Structure 1
Amino acid sequence: MAHADLAVLGGVGMLALACLVVCSLYLYWSSERYRARQRQSVRQTGTKPSSGRQKSGAGQTAGKNNAVLSGVHVTMGTQLSHRCRTSLYRAVFSSAHSESIVFLIADSRENARHRASGALAAIHGISADKVWLSNLASFKELVDIGVSEDEELRVFELAWKDANVSAWVEHPLFLTDDPSLLGKWAELYADLARVLAVTAIDKARH
């Protein structure tokens, strides 16, 4: 029975990985950057490029994973809204057992702290004065300290090694329904998932 359960879990895992790869390829092929590269290739060569040979900015594999995962050369098709670029804030919420990254839209730093505290208190069933927030930063501040070529991706950077991103935000809490922010994060992780899948396949072949 245990072997059968493991086989089922393995099959589910492979299916989930396949879904991630398909979704990421769809997001990339539908992006403005991919279509722009196609148009440029057509102008230069007069022939339509094969989609199977295209690589996104995060699509370098094997010996180039540092550049891929750093995001330095990543430019996504989704663009953040004007509201995000002018009013987005990010903070770290610390609880007794974990930490989470929180994104929200606010008019000012103090307004961001007040809104985040109120929302997190309601979500976790605690009083607002028990909500501990740290590293509150605006969109501009996150852009200024980030390193990704696509400046809008810098809001998702967490740590750096030299000129590369060594850690990205994982499982953030979005206290906003801004579709551009949600789309940007989903597009980033779909592309990173694709890169990891391609890298794993490449290693398996060798």
Structure 2
Amino acid sequence: MGVIYHLNPLTTLPTAINNDPTFVHLYWSSQPSAYGPTWVAISSLLQWLTLPFGRQSLLPMVLALRFSGLLAHVCSTLLIWSITGQLQQRFGLVSARKRIVATLAFAWNPLLLFEACVNAHNDAVLLLLILLAIWFLLPGTHKLRGNILATLMLVLATCLKLNVALLLPFFLIFIWKQENQENALLRTPFVRTLSMALLYAGSIILLYAPFWQNG
């Protein structure tokens, strides 16, 4: 909608493009996009890349979405491998077999494969962003940069689906506990945690701002 028709998908009803070949396949035709700026950016990029193949055929965009889902799933699998390895080392429970089993259980999960590579559902990208947030939090030093990058990944995930905001309290509690363990000053954990909360809220506002039209 944004690339071809230059319309805001977060405020424009799909009925505005009822002559488009995709319209007949839309389930929610009476409301704007249920997804946020992150998915708008990703889908717009894919749409732009497939424009040379024409506007009337849906096949190029479908294939692009499926490939992006597959790519997201592969990247998530690599993150699972990395995360399980770091957790094993951190808790002193190193087991190559368990690490392989955990990774393959994720990689070969038929539901995940079907949703990512056949349905091309954006939950594959959502899961990747959440795993990235976890991955950035894992290094033992828990430096400020890791917290910032993890927060930004959570921001992108929230701006794909707003229900990810439910993870924010647990995310902030984790940062608070880590800062408590690593800093003797009482105020430091509070300041760091509050800073991440403000970064989270401010970044979401900035990402939604270009799409905000008359409230």
Indicate the structure whose relative CO is greater, using CA pairs within 8 Å and at least 6 residues apart.
Answer: 1
Of Structure 1 and Structure 2, the greater strand share is in 1
Q: Do the two structures share a fold, i.e. TM-score over 0.5?
A: no
Of Structure 1 and Structure 2, the greater helix share is in 2
TM-score by length of 1: 0.30
